[in-house]
Chains A and B, each alone.
Chain A
Amino acid sequence: MKRVQNSRFDLTGNGIIRVMKLAAFGKIVPVGNLRGGPGIRCLVVVGLLHFFGYPIYYINARYGHRLGPVKRIVGRVRKR
């Protein structure tokens, strides 16, 4: 027995890892028209959120107010 949406908020049976595998395969062999495909950066971000989103948001909720210096560094890196 399974849930339609798993505990990572991903689709059971067609999760993000499967999408990543197809995107990687599609870089070598034509798999059809994916209109530009998912994009590596998007895949990485979404993959991180599905797999590590909970601990990230837990830390943010719990200690977010103390993470000012870290957020400033991230902000500076993003601006570059």
Chain B
Amino acid sequence: MAFETHYSLRSLIGAGKNRSAHKKVFSFDLFDTLLIRRIHDPDLVKLPVARYISRLAARARISVGWQSVQRQRDQIEAAHRARTGQQFDDHEACYPRFMGELLEQLFGDSYSPGLLGEVTDFELKMENSMLVPRLELVEWLETLWTAGKEIYIISDMYLPATHLEKLVEHAGLSGYVTAVVSSADTFLAKASGRAFSHVAKKFGIDPQSWVHIGDNPISDGLRAAEFGIESLIIRDPAEEQRRSIVKRYYNYSDGKPFWRGRLLQQLMAPHEKENSRRSPLYVEGYNFIGPLIGLFVQRVAELCLENDIKKIFFLSREGWTFKNYWEKAVPILYAGKKVPDIEYLYVSRMALAPAACAVQGLTKTNASIAFLPPGNRDFRDLCRIFGLEAEKFSGILAKHGIGEDTCLSHIHDGYDPQNRKRFETMLEDAEFQGEVKRQTRDSNLALQRYLEDIGFFHHDKVAVVDIGWLGSIQRFLFEAVSHREDIPQCFGYLFGATRGIPYPVEEKNRIAGVVYDRDRFDLAASTLFYARDIFEEACRAPHPTLNGYECDGDGYKLVFRKTDDEIGRAELEQDSYFAPLQQGIIDSAERFGAAAALLGYEFADYKPWINSVLVNKLAFPAAREVAQIRHQHHLDDFHGQKKPKADFAKGFTPLWDRSQLQLKFDPFIRARAFFRHLRERINE
């Protein structure tokens, strides 16, 4: 009996359906037939397992590199196969046996049977993360099962049937399968044809009533046919194309670091049922912002491990997305390693600004930060930001010759440098600072109670992670509690540090940009300047911003912004518009973790690709991308509502603020904007 080869799933399933009326038993090969792998080479899944074992060994104070673990695994597996070959026609191996031997060899007296279970669970988790069921075959399988056919899965694999059943269950196929058979249990494989006779005997199957489907023309085709089974072989050119592409990216990434990030994204990509049609914003979240956040989170983890930091606080509302991403990606990425505990910290610039004044008063630098946004003009804006009552300063203001509405910002009409000097003189007035401290004391006390409550002061070192850009949240936070002796060493990690106002770096208070830092010249990453707001909006938590901290008896109260005013409603509208984008980001997290764990590269390896993505998407965006991703409402209470001088906003309009018409039909607009950006970065 000959076997049939089909070049598309549709043709194969059609042929199978023709036989289903007079055949009772259908068996399927598992790998590359029912399930496809994201990676081209199945052996690559063994590498993260070797890294995992190496980390477990390090915990048991045994020093062994992952390459050495992998080498020993290969040697033991090969020895097992050779031994099996002496007794059987097939050179098979059984995972629990050779892995148990490897672990006993590596761990010696520290070995326990539970260790094999831990390693097996991780190996199956990695396998599951790289396997995807083929949609059309699964649908056919379901039809066959409903029609009352017996369905077997037969695999030549080192994992025994009990382990394969877990993979089958994860793929959602276990409800349609009579039995799973693995060569690892009997050492009778399809390669020699022995598996077919074994299955026929064990389950009492007549070969005449049996159809086998697989991808290997010898094991699944010829051997089945020799046993009298009708067999259908799939040779899918689309699958060969996909695997070939992954293989090229993998091979190129070895010599050209540029391709490492591209390979990562190829391994993260969804297939079959996962790859359904989605909103364009979801796609941007999955393919653009998600991987950037993933790599940021990976770098934060690397830095925390380097600096022996045991606790991470994710700050402000963007930290909510970073924390979610961490929870989904880091457990598999750093499996076997003790990573820092994480916590979300309810903070905002508006909430922390008053608390920062309670001990040191209102500093000249903090006043300058308040006047950075163009909507802030006078003392009233300052009072809004730092939670002060303007009326109580009327006497002091009069003493220094300024009023509540005297213009103090040079970009507004009516600005007089003398008034700014008078204001700065007032900052040195003890009476003024005394009133500032009096008014902000409660806010500071409530903040300290909140931080005590979440255990902020229980650690020697903490990482505070935020999106960016000036580091003012960390600045205010540190200033608010810097008088305490138990303040931990704060390592600030920002997605992008655009700085602007020098950060007061000291032993206990450091800050660094991860994807971009203005203190390091990085032209490609500096394209973040093009559209910082979209990252803020994309990562924003679904709860309203924090307005302040209030004392509540002996406790504290977090005061959130109301959402029933115009600004609150606009924010909700923006959140609902960006919901698919956020979904795309979160959905990419788990696959990012698995793909990054498989590749084992560090942040620096992916940086060239990140740079190219940032330049492509931010400096050279398609018009439709700008239309989709550009925020509709970007709101920040820190920014006032006052209008600066008419000529302030004149000059070059940023690329992301241009009209669709210009973006579509001006062929040089992106190049002009890029040259301008280049000049600005070189001159700063």
Decide whether A and B assemble into one complex: yes
| CB atoms of A31 and B277 under 8 A apart | no
Known contacts A3-B278, A5-B275; decide if A58 and B7 are in contact (CB<8 Å).
yes
Interface check A42, CB cutoff 8 A = yes
Complex: how many Å from CA A2 to CA B616? 19
Interface check B196, CB cutoff 8 A = no
Q: Closest chain B residue to A32 by CB distance?
A: B524
Interface check B276, CB cutoff 8 A = yes
- Name the contact of A57 in the complex, choosing from B240, B275, B286, B526 (C-beta under 8 A): B240
A52 CB to closest chain B CB (Å) equals: 9
| CB atoms of B615 and A22 under 8 A apart | yes
Complex: how many Å from CA A18 to CA B615? 11
| CB atoms of A14 and B613 under 8 A apart | yes
Interface check B658, CB cutoff 8 A = no
Interface check B288, CB cutoff 8 A = yes
Question: What 1/0 flags go to A1-31 for Cβ under 8 Å of B?
Answer: 1111100010111100011011001000111
Known contacts A5-B271, A13-B284, A22-B612; decide if A36 and B265 are in contact (CB<8 Å).
no
CB-defined contacts of B286 to chain A, threshold 8 Å: 4
- Name the contact of B248 in the complex, choosing from A3, A46, A58 (C-beta under 8 A): A46
Question: What 1/0 flags go to B618-640 for Cβ under 8 Å of A?
Answer: 01100001000000000000000
Known contacts A22-B612, A46-B249; decide if A1 and B279 are in contact (CB<8 Å).
yes
CB-defined contacts of A22 to chain B, threshold 8 Å: 612, 615-616, 620
CB-defined contacts of B678 to chain A, threshold 8 Å: 29-30
- Contact residues of B between 268 and 321, Cβ < 8 Å to A: 269-271, 275-280, 282-284, 286-288
CB-defined contacts of B265 to chain A, threshold 8 Å: 11
Which of B150-158, B185-193, B251-259, B486-494 lies at the interface? B251-259
Q: Closest chain B residue to A55 by CB distance?
A: B237
Interface check B242, CB cutoff 8 A = yes
| CB atoms of A62 and B7 under 8 A apart | yes
| CB atoms of A34 and B611 under 8 A apart | yes
Contact count A vs B, C-beta below 8 Å: 149
| CB atoms of A34 and B241 under 8 A apart | no
| CB atoms of A33 and B608 under 8 A apart | yes
Complex: how many Å from CA A65 to CA B153? 29
Complex: how many Å from CA A36 to CA B255? 10
CB-defined contacts of B602 to chain A, threshold 8 Å: none
- Name the contact of B244 in the complex, choosing from A25, A29, A37, A49 (C-beta under 8 A): A49
CB-defined contacts of A38 to chain B, threshold 8 Å: 252, 256, 258-259
Interface check B461, CB cutoff 8 A = no
- Name the contact of B278 in the complex, choosing from A1, A14, A19, A53 (C-beta under 8 A): A1
- Name the contact of B237 in the complex, choosing from A19, A30, A46, A61 (C-beta under 8 A): A61
CB-defined contacts of B614 to chain A, threshold 8 Å: 32
Interface check B522, CB cutoff 8 A = yes
| CB atoms of B237 and A60 under 8 A apart | yes
- Contact residues of A between 33 and 72, Cβ < 8 Å to B: 33-39, 42, 45-46, 49-50, 53-58, 60-62
CB-defined contacts of A36 to chain B, threshold 8 Å: 256-258, 608
Interface check B245, CB cutoff 8 A = yes
Known contacts A13-B625, A22-B620, A32-B523; decide if A50 and B611 are in contact (CB<8 Å).
no
| CB atoms of A35 and B258 under 8 A apart | yes
Complex: how many Å from CA A49 to CA B269? 17
CB-defined contacts of A39 to chain B, threshold 8 Å: 252, 256, 258
B214 CB to closest chain A CB (Å) equals: 15
| CB atoms of A49 and B522 under 8 A apart | no
Complex: how many Å from CA A53 to CA B262? 18
| CB atoms of A33 and B258 under 8 A apart | no
CB-defined contacts of B527 to chain A, threshold 8 Å: 32
CB-defined contacts of B252 to chain A, threshold 8 Å: 38-39, 42, 46
- Name the contact of B617 in the complex, choosing from A1, A14, A53 (C-beta under 8 A): A14
Interface check B535, CB cutoff 8 A = no
Q: Closest chain A residue to B619 by CB distance?
A: A31
CB-defined contacts of B244 to chain A, threshold 8 Å: 49, 53, 57
CB-defined contacts of A61 to chain B, threshold 8 Å: 7, 235-237, 240
Complex: how many Å from CA A4 to CA B265? 11
CB-defined contacts of B258 to chain A, threshold 8 Å: 34-39
Known contacts A13-B288, A22-B620; decide if A2 and B278 are in contact (CB<8 Å).
yes
CB-defined contacts of B607 to chain A, threshold 8 Å: 33, 35
Known contacts A12-B283, A32-B522; decide if A1 and B277 are in contact (CB<8 Å).
yes
- Contact residues of B between 653 and 671, Cβ < 8 Å to A: 671
Which residue among B241, B252, B282 has the maximum number of chain A CB atoms within 10 Å of its CB? B241
CB-defined contacts of A1 to chain B, threshold 8 Å: 277-280
CB-defined contacts of B584 to chain A, threshold 8 Å: 4
Complex: how many Å from CA A9 to CA B262? 12
Interface check B525, CB cutoff 8 A = yes
Q: Closest chain B residue to A39 by CB distance?
A: B256
Q: Closest chain A residue to B271 by CB distance?
A: A5
A72 CB to closest chain B CB (Å) equals: 21
- Name the contact of A18 in the complex, choosing from B249, B608, B616 (C-beta under 8 A): B616
Known contacts A3-B276, A31-B615, A57-B240; decide if A13 and B256 are in contact (CB<8 Å).
no
Interface check B111, CB cutoff 8 A = no
| CB atoms of B620 and A4 under 8 A apart | no
Known contacts A5-B270, A5-B275, A9-B241; decide if A45 and B248 are in contact (CB<8 Å).
yes
Q: Closest chain A residue to B247 by CB distance?
A: A49
Interface check B238, CB cutoff 8 A = yes
Interface check B393, CB cutoff 8 A = no
CB-defined contacts of A49 to chain B, threshold 8 Å: 241, 244-245, 248
Known contacts A39-B252, A46-B249; decide if A12 and B287 are in contact (CB<8 Å).
yes
CB-defined contacts of B238 to chain A, threshold 8 Å: 54, 57
Which residues from chain A sit less than 8 Å from chain B, CB to CB? 1-5, 9, 11-14, 18-19, 21-22, 25, 29-39, 42, 45-46, 49-50, 53-58, 60-62
If A32-B523, A57-B244 are given as contacts, then 4 extra A-B residue pairs at C-beta distance below 8 Å, sorted by A number, are A1-B279, A4-B278, A35-B607, A37-B258
25 contacts between A and B (CB under 8 A): A1-B278, A3-B275, A4-B283, A4-B584, A5-B271, A9-B269, A11-B265, A19-B616, A21-B620, A31-B523, A31-B524, A32-B525, A32-B614, A32-B615, A34-B258, A34-B524, A36-B258, A38-B256, A39-B256, A39-B258, A42-B248, A53-B241, A54-B241, A60-B237, A61-B7
Q: Which 3 residue pairs across A and B have the least CB separation, nearest first?
A: A32-B524, A53-B241, A57-B237
